[in-house]
Amino acid sequence: MAVIFCGAMITDAQTIYDPNVVPTITSKQIKELGQQHQKFPSSVIVLDFEGLGDYDAINGFYNGGTSGDGYSGTNYGIEFSVALGIIDSDAGGSGNFANEPSPSTIMFFIGASQAQMNVAAGFSTGFSVFYCSSVAGSIEVYDGLDGTGNLLGSVSLPPNIGSCTGDPNGTYCQWDPVSVPFSGTAKSVVFVGAENAIGFDNVTFGSITPGPTPGVPISNWAIFIGIFLIGAFMVVRFRRTLA
Ligand SMILES: [Ca+2]
Ligand SMILES: [Ca+2]
Ligand SMILES: [Ca+2]
């Protein structure tokens, strides 16, 4: 009996959705998460999944519609199927993860071994995302909707669950960036893995570099360098004036 009990505990600990956690996050708090959008460059679209509910079917959240729980995000013309949003248990949800690239919501799937994303208007250049997985997975990009047509590009995703810690709880704690460069126009992306065992965040279009993680103040550095250059220019001008 003890062995079976121990095995069950390990299994629970290694899934993204933890059924033993009772979510406490309120609808108001979920909407506030959605309003705290990361500052991404306007030339790229980043789906950070913030504003989705806990264990919430994404559906038309990014397509002018609603998620399963009735939330709405920006209308990017992107429709998801099978995929769910889930919120970190440290933020009041039921997600067993940490260090997610944009707190506190990620995308995962359950009840199937893959999830899909359709972009009816098509997209080009490339596609990138952060992932964390306890199983081998892959991402496939197709030129037809629903994973049909020609395979334009793919990337395999080795397990990377690691033995890290963070924020302060969560087994799925290591997030690696991957990109799928391709030529042509893509209309769907298929996320392949195993149910409840692979998570994604910061799905980024128009760039092969996924949206920056929090705590990387790229814009601050740009401001700092700008101030330095202006200061150096003024010193040079001042010295010339004296001369
Ligand atoms: Ca977190
Ligand atoms: Ca956590
Ligand atoms: Ca996120």
Note the pLDDT tens digit of each residue in 68-116: 999 999 999 999 999 999 999 999 999 999 999 999 999 999 999 999 9
As to burial, measured by CB atoms within 10 angstroms (0-12 exposed, 13-18 middle, 19+ buried), residue 121 is exposed
Per-residue model confidence as pLDDT tens digits over 48-62 = 999 999 999 999 999
Measured CA to CA, the distance from residue 24 to residue 70 in angstroms comes to: 18
What residues does the ion ligand 3 have nearby, CB within 5 Å?
48-49, 102, 105, 201
**Residue 1 confidence (pLDDT):** 37
Distance 235 CA to ligand 1 centre (A): 46
Ligand 3 centre and the CA of 240: distance in Å? Answer: 52
Q: What is the pTM of this model?
A: 0.82
pLDDT at 208: 76
Contact 143, 124 (CB under 8 A): no
Q: Supply angle C-alpha 33, 70, 96, rounded to 5.
A: 50
Question: Which of 212, 234, 26 shows the shortest CA–CA distance to 130?
Answer: 212
Distance 116 CA to ligand 1 centre (A): 24
Q: How far does the centroid of ligand 2 lie from the alpha carbon of residue 227, in Å?
A: 37
Q: What is the mean pLDDT of the chain?
A: 86
Ligand 3 mean position, distance from CA 47 (Å): 8
